[in-house]
Amino acid sequence: MLSLIDPFARAISYLRVSVTDRCDFRCTYCMSEHMTFLPKADLLSLEELDRLCSRFIGMGVSKLRITGGEPLVRKGILTFFEAMSRHLQTGALKELTLTTNGSQLAKFAQPLADLGVRRVNVSLDTLDAAKFAQITRWGRLPQVLDGIAAARAAGLRVKINAVALKGFNEDELFSLVDWCAREGHDLTFIEVMPMGEDMGDGLRLDQYWPLKDLRARLADRLTLTDLTERSGGPARYVRIGETGQKVGFITPLTHNFCESCNRVRLTCTGQLYMCLGQEDMADLRAPLRASSDDASVDEAIRAAIARKPKGHDFDYSRQKVAGQMTRHMSHTGG
């Protein structure tokens, strides 16, 4: 089958799939405390997810990241991982991975490793139990630390993703770096994005902590060397001389990665977003449910990729955030 090439000659090889909008946490920058979730019938079934992902893999997608919501709270999720693992066995899929809050890893780490998952991203913004409970509202730190330990015991590589929040985890910058160095985890900081409508007691614009500043603060005390490697995404990496560890910076609001963008995102309802920063999307659920013949699904995928925009237009420079997204990360999958 012909591979997926967009109008700017970028090959689409990376699909991020949100398998649920539900979550057992209520992180303040991501969800309001009293979220209304989608009716179950709107969600793609595990079989539909399998069918759709398999079409993408047939068209050259070689990396699949499962996300949410919290992917590990989706009922029967291992069945889906098992289905995807057949593409690892044929070699069509090079990497099957997930982004999780870690709450269910104690239970799932070993089965995931057995199915061919090699790496996992765990979101963790603080190592202070009280602050963890505050930012996640419903999360409990020891449970997540147990999950991370289980992942390591199962042989999974762990990357910690920490959202940089001014006045919240600024004081933990070095303790997070030290902890990851000690434990052998990779670490990436994420710049907070304006997502969703006003979340009341949630994220405030004054919590925005530009990673440029965070990086400068690291460089005050540590020796940072830029690494040239890129993932085709918004992350940049440095090596820390003192510890040898790799630290990443994800600045989704800058344009510096659009030209190499190799990814698209599928929501749990089957909407394909061609760019994280644009509203345009394609509904793949309708052709999926209309017929068991895959031809119209393939056609819808190709038509969507043909509309992938060159870049996005977030702009933090004005106090009012231009290009502010109205959808939640839990819907599109972070």
**Contacts with ligand SF4, residue ranges (CB under 6 A):** 23, 25-27, 30-31, 68-70, 101, 123, 330
CB nearer to ligand SAM: pick between 186 and 298? 186
CB nearer to ligand SF4: pick between 195 and 301? 195
Q: H-helix or E-strand containing 96?
A: strand 95-100
* Distance from C-alpha of 91 to C-alpha of 37, rounded to nearest angstrom: 36
Q: CB of residue 100 vs ligand SF4: minimum separation in angstroms?
A: 8
Q: Binding partner of residue 26 among ligand SF4, ligand SAM, none, CB under 5 to 8 Å per kind?
A: ligand SF4
Interface with ligand SAM includes 68 (CB under 6 A)?
yes
* Distance from C-alpha of 278 to C-alpha of 194, rounded to nearest angstrom: 13
Which is it for strands 235-240 and 95-100: parallel, antiparallel or unpaired? unpaired
Interface with ligand SAM includes 30 (CB under 6 A)?
yes
Residues 144-203 that bind ligand SAM (CB under 6 A): 161, 163, 190, 192-193, 195
Interface with ligand SAM includes 15 (CB under 6 A)?
no
Q: Binding partner of residue 31 among ligand SAM, ligand SF4, none, CB under 5 to 8 Å per kind?
A: ligand SF4
* Distance from C-alpha of 23 to C-alpha of 70, rounded to nearest angstrom: 5
Residue pair 202/37 in contact by the 8 Å Cβ criterion:
no
Q: CB of residue 161 vs ligand SAM: minimum separation in angstroms?
A: 4
Q: CB of residue 30 vs ligand SAM: minimum separation in angstroms?
A: 4
C-alpha pair distances (Å), 331 with each of 69, 70, 182, 218: 7, 10, 34, 33
- CB-side exposure of 272: number of CA atoms within 13 Å? 29
Interface with ligand SAM includes 100 (CB under 6 A)?
yes
Alpha helices, H only, 194-321: 211-221, 285-290, 295-305
Binding range to ligand SAM, per CB under 6 A, among 1-9, 170-178, 229-237, 326-334: 326-334
Q: CB of residue 105 vs ligand SAM: minimum separation in angstroms?
A: 11
Alpha helices, H only, the chain: 46-58, 77-90, 105-114, 129-136, 141-153, 173-183, 211-221, 285-290, 295-305, 329-332
Of the candidate residues 29, 56, 80, 314, the single one contacting ligand SAM (CB under 6 A): 29
**Residue ranges binding ligand SAM (CB under 6 A):** 23, 29-30, 67-68, 70, 99-101, 123, 161, 163, 190, 192-193, 195, 329-330, 334
